[in-house]
């Protein structure tokens, strides 16, 4: 059996058109963007055209887009800048954030640089906005609110506009990890009340090792990597030229194909949920899976049995690639902090299936048939 890849929330295959756009900047157009002669000017122009393209697609100003190495760097930078440059002394987050946020917040807390709190969750994993407002009202110091736009494990989507309005009302800084939504949904940053967002190219068929940090024009932060003055003196280091070109091309393709691709991928998710319900007794789904949720992610809670405890290993042995939660923990065999925060039911085994435009209904059928044997 050919390998079936159902872990697209971890990373996605690079589109051929994206690779084609990148290749010239790996070969003949190799100049250092900081060089003043023609090779350098050619590379500099490619980066600035990419920045303009990304800004236009997100309805932002080009000066608000900074290229980074990915979502983790962008998240770290936004949180650090909010503390260092914007006077935030308390951070409100949630127990189901990506570790790139959770561990960063914990670091500043352990160093006694800030105090922290976590907003309450409903049983389906959505953020309790009433609790958030109560916390913002009662905390005297300036707050940073860092809440992800869509959860990478269960797929729940935050009401980013409502959170942004609450932050504006209470003079709080708002950062949102948008790694699972940039390239998957149209985002209009002119109409979204947010100060920072993070994105990563490899989540939407772009290259690994490149991301963006959006910094709203209304705030001013200091340079976050010192050295040669790249990225308008904010992030020193020779730019990832072909990665940046690839990011812009992948975002352009993702947004031009959004209507058709999102409908198709949603149909795969809906079909798999229906097939699992029909064929696996006792199956349940984590999060708001058929409501305000990513069309790419289906988090499945299987009944715990001797066989199902080995489900990820068994799937892998059968050439099916899926995840027990986030794939960003370097293979560490630890239970999902997201699932623990939601229900922590010891009689359930969670598998995250996540889909892309390259998957098929036939693959869903094959996976469900194999699961019937393995559960």
Per-residue pLDDT tens digits for 187-202: 999 999 999 999 999 9
User: Which residues touch 74 (CB under 8 Å, ≥6 apart)?
Assistant: 68, 196, 198, 199, 200, 211, 212, 213
Please check whether residues 211 and 88 belong to one and the same domain: yes
Please report where in the chains the tokens 């500043």 appear, as a residue. 108
Mean pLDDT within 319-344: 76
The pLDDT value recorded for residue 333 is 53
- Per cent of the chain over pLDDT 90 is 94
Across the beta sheet with 211-215, the strand order is 65-68, 211-215, 196-200, 173-177, 143-146, 90-93, 115-118
Please check whether residues 62 and 156 belong to one and the same domain: yes
Please check whether residues 343 and 222 belong to one and the same domain: no
Please check whether residues 293 and 221 belong to one and the same domain: no
**For residue 313, what is the domain's CATH number?**
3.90.1150.10
Please check whether residues 283 and 238 belong to one and the same domain: no
Please check whether residues 156 and 195 belong to one and the same domain: yes
The pLDDT value recorded for residue 344 is 74
Mean pLDDT within 246-272: 98
Confirm whether pTM is higher than 0.85.
yes
Instruction: Round the average pLDDT of the chain to a whole number and report it.
Output: 96
Q: How confident is the model at residue 346 (pLDDT cuts 50, 70, 90)?
A: confident
The pLDDT value recorded for residue 134 is 98
**For residue 74, what is the domain's CATH number?**
3.40.640.10
Please check whether residues 290 and 243 belong to one and the same domain: no
Please check whether residues 218 and 296 belong to one and the same domain: no
Please check whether residues 40 and 157 belong to one and the same domain: yes
Whether residue 4 contacts residue 362, with contact meaning beta carbons closer than 8 Å, is answered with no
User: Which residues touch 184 (CB under 8 Å, ≥6 apart)?
Assistant: 150, 203, 204, 254, 262, 294, 295, 296
For residue 90, which phi and psi values (nearest 5 degrees)? -140, 140
The pLDDT value recorded for residue 309 is 86
Please check whether residues 204 and 223 belong to one and the same domain: yes
Q: What's the domain range around 245? A: 16-256
The pLDDT value recorded for residue 325 is 61
Which of 256, 287, 316 is a domain's end point?
Answer: 256
CA 228 from centroid of its chain's CA atoms: 29
178 is catalytic: no
- Does 307 have pLDDT greater than 90? no
Please check whether residues 314 and 248 belong to one and the same domain: no
- Does 1 have pLDDT greater than 80? no
Which of 237, 256, 275 is a domain's end point?
Answer: 256
Q: How confident is the model at residue 308 (pLDDT cuts 50, 70, 90)?
A: confident
Of these residues, 88, 143, 167, 328, which one is catalytic? 328
- Does 131 have pLDDT greater than 50? yes
Among the listed residues 54, 373, 51, the one whose alpha carbon sits nearest the alpha carbon of residue 182: 54
Which of 225, 256, 287 is a domain's end point?
Answer: 256
- Does 345 have pLDDT greater than 90? no
Mean pLDDT within 194-219: 98
Mean pLDDT within 125-154: 98
- Does 332 have pLDDT greater than 60? no
Cβ neighbours, 10 Å, residue 366: 17
Please check whether residues 171 and 242 belong to one and the same domain: yes
Each residue's pLDDT tens digit, 83-100: 999 999 999 999 999 999
Mean pLDDT within 234-263: 98
Each residue's pLDDT tens digit, 36-86: 999 999 999 999 999 999 999 999 999 999 999 999 999 999 999 999 999
Q: How confident is the model at residue 302 (pLDDT cuts 50, 70, 90)?
A: very high
Whether residue 296 contacts residue 12, with contact meaning beta carbons closer than 8 Å, is answered with no
Indicate the number of domains in the chain: 2
The pLDDT value recorded for residue 50 is 98
The pLDDT value recorded for residue 330 is 45
């Amino acid at each position: 059996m050919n390998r079936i890849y159902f872990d697209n929330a971890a990373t996605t295959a690079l589109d051929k058109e994206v690779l084609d756009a990148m290749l010239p900047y790996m070969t003949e157009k190799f100049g250092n963007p900081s060089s003043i002669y023609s090779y350098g000017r050619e590379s500099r122009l490619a980066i600035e055209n990419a920045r303009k393209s990304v800004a236009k697609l997100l309805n932002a100003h080009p000066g608000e887009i900074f290229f980074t190495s990915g979502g983790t760097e962008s998240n770290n930078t936004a949180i650090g800048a909010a503390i260092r440059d914007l006077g935030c002394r308390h951070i409100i987050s949630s127990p189901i954030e990506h570790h790139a946020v959770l561990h960063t917040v914990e670091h500043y807390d352990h160093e006694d640089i800030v105090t922290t709190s976590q907003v309450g969750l409903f049983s389906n994993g959505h953020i309790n906005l009433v609790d958030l407002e109560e916390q913002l009202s009662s905390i005297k110091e300036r707050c940073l609110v860092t809440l992800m736009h869509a959860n990478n494990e269960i797929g729940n989507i935050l009401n980013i506009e409502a959170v942004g309005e609450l932050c504006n009302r209470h003079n709080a800084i708002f950062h949102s990890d948008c790694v699972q939504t940039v390239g998957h949904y149209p985002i209009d940053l002119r109409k979204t009340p947010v100060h920072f967002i993070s994105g990563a190219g490899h989540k939407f068929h772009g290259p690994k090792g490149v991301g963006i940090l959006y910094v709203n024009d209304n705030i001013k932060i200091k340079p976050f990597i010192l050295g040669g003055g790249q990225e308008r003196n904010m992030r020193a280091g020779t730019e990832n030229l072909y990665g940046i070109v690839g990011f812009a091309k992948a975002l352009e393709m993702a947004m031009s194909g959004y209507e058709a691709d999102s409908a198709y991928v949603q149909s795969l998710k809906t079909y798999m949920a229906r097939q699992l319900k029909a064929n696996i007794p006792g199956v349940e789904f984590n999060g708001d899976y058929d409501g305000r949720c990513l069309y790419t992610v289906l988090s499945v809670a299987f009944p715990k049995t001797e066989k199902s405890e080995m489900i990820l290993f068994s799937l892998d042995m059968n050439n099916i690639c899926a995840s027990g939660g986030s794939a960003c923990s370097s293979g560490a065999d630890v239970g999902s902090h997201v699932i623990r925060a939601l229900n922590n039911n010891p009689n359930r085994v969670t598998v995250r299936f996540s889909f892309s435009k390259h998957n098929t209904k036939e693959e869903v059928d094959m996976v469900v048939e194999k699961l019937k044997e393995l559960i």
